[in-house]
Chain A
Amino acid sequence: MQTALAPKPSAPRTSRAARFWRDYGWAYLFILAPVLLFLIFTLYPVLTALVMSFQKYNIMNSTWVGLDNYERLVKDETFWKSIKNTVIFTVGTVPVNILITFVLSYFIYQMKSKWQTFFKATMYLPAVASGVTISIVWLAIFDPTDSGLLNRFLSLFGLDPVIWLGQSGTALFSLILMNWLGSHGAGIILYLAAMGGIPKSLYEAADIDHASGWTQFSKITWPLLKPTTLYLLVTGVITSFQVFISVYLMTQGGPNFATTTIAYLIYETAFKFYEFGLASAQSFVLAIIIIVISVIQFKYFSSDIEY
């Protein structure tokens, strides 16, 4: 009112905004699509699932039921059985697979480079087949009659055919066995790359000190491969906690819930019984288990690793 000069408050602000846009606008534009997709297809669903886990959910109307779904879970025998099965599957597969992968890699590393490529390619091959293909093939390998490949193999030793997938005693073990004999290709390639990265001078120095093969292995090879082992451990646990395709195609969780894993139970709860609220609660329990295990692995393993 009394000022002579008309204030131009907008001028510097616009130019600052313009400068900001000029400096950073492109960068924000570059990440726009992934961030939008993330907001719509990850963040929003996660938050919705969280809300749904406290609801009795219907498409038409959903009612808030507080911790009812979680209470139902705790009292549900099938849920505990599914956790037990998933843990058995994970403990039965991941460490064994890492051991197999490590031994194979260590042996391949001793070979000439032509043979290294051959073994890498051969052992990686099954990894390009889909879970559906692998499950169908193993369905035939586990065939309970004497036309199944595994039973034929047993008959060479005079053993009777086993009903691999059809009885609760062997069904889960069959899935584990299939996992052991499956692909270690990706892990082998990672281990070989890491082994190639260990400086030769370390072994030469160890040779001069007359360190035994075992000392070299336990003091040089194994510690320096720890980051790769950690990576395989974390990804292995995360994948095996979510095992689904083989269960769905080969056993349908049976017989008598012997192979019902958490991921399969969530699928059944949601898409067979349409209990969306309960299934969401189950999925959050799964998420918490996975996150806690991953964090423990990182803490325990990375304490003496330098990245």
Chain B
Amino acid sequence: MKSTQKKTLLVVASILLVVWALVTVIPMYWMLVGSVQDSAMSASFKPQMIPEQLSLSPYERFFAKTDAWRWLYNSLLISIILTVTNVFFASLAGYAFAKLKFPGSQAVFWTLLGTMMIPAQVTLIPLYILMVNVFDLGDTYTAIILPAAVSVGNIFLMKQFMSTLPTSLIHAARIDACSEFGIFWKVILPMAKPGIAVLAIFTFVASWNEFFWPFLITNSNEMRTIQVGLASFVFAESTDFGAMMAGATIGALPMIILFFSLQRYFLQGITIGAVKG
């Protein structure tokens, strides 16, 4: 009785999972096949689920009509810088909050954490005025990068991770008269590599996919990131189905490749800090 019950469950589960996996993947698949069929800009174009003829002309049109190379360059540059600053500052602060005792540490930490509930919309307008009118940094890399240089969520993540590291090595290094920064750099960072890898990957993907702030703060075509540029392209050109799908693919493909090459980190990484808050 028990084993037949279990078998039925497995069969039902398998069928449902396969169906849902298809549902999940079909939009992505459709984007890809839509981007390799020549739509020739006709409004009546119907992309086929199984393409009869492959053509890269949608990509040619997308790159010809936009500054996509420049947008990709901007996105890559910004994402790399944000990954480095976030990893560095979040591990440094995470280490301080997890392992160093100092007056006010709890108060500062909880104040930071408490503001995570405040939605971004609240700070947006003053931040915009501050950047554009006070600092005169509108439409610059600095304005895109600075507010996102380190996030409270990442500090929290690193604190959670750092607190799992053994304290004995820190004491040993201190007895050996290693400076506090030396301890962080030579002892903590090497031990924290798995956590850092996860933080780096997630920050990189998030920075690459970020839309709203770069969208607000940039106004010249050359300063757009790929996401902002793509959005502007859709508004200007919503009849060229093929080029739209090519653009959508270009915006997502680097992250999809990253996902397949670093799958293990993606799938394990989410659980750091999230399970058991």
Contacts and interface: CB of A to CB of B under 8 A. Distances in A.
Do A and B actually bind? Answer: yes
Interface of A: 23-24, 26-28, 30-31, 33-35, 37-38, 40-46, 48-49, 52, 59, 103-104, 107-108, 110-111, 117, 119-126, 128-134, 136-141, 145-147, 149, 181, 183-184, 186, 189-190, 193-194, 197, 213, 227-228, 231, 238, 241-242, 244-245, 248-249, 262-263, 266-267, 270-271, 276, 279-280, 282-284, 286-287, 290-291, 294, 307
A254 to B, nearest CB: 14
B196 to A, nearest CB: 16
Given A132-B231, A138-B27, A231 B117 contact: no
Contacts, number: 269
Q: Which 7 A-B pairs have the closest CB atoms?
A: A26-B180, A107-B13, A130-B209, A45-B126, A45-B123, A48-B126, A30-B96
17 contacts: A23-B102, A27-B96, A33-B149, A37-B147, A41-B146, A41-B147, A103-B16, A104-B16, A136-B245, A137-B248, A138-B27, A181-B24, A184-B24, A189-B270, A189-B271, A193-B271, A283-B122
B31 A133 contact: yes
A123 B24 contact: yes
A136 B96 contact: no
Nearest to B231: A132
Interface residue SS majority, chain A: helix
Given A30-B92, A31-B96, A38-B152, A49 B122 contact: yes
B198 to A, nearest CB: 12
Nearest to A141: B27
Interface stretch (B52-60, B163-171, B251-259): B251-259
A137 B146 contact: no
A183 B256 CA distance: 14
Nearest to B184: A30
Interface of B: 5, 9-10, 12-14, 16-17, 20-21, 23-28, 30-31, 34, 44-47, 89-90, 92-93, 95-97, 100-103, 105, 108, 112, 115, 117-127, 129-130, 133, 146-147, 149-150, 152, 155, 179-181, 184, 205, 208-209, 211-212, 216, 227, 230-231, 234, 238, 241, 244-245, 247-249, 251-252, 255-256, 258-259, 263, 266-267, 270-271, 274-277
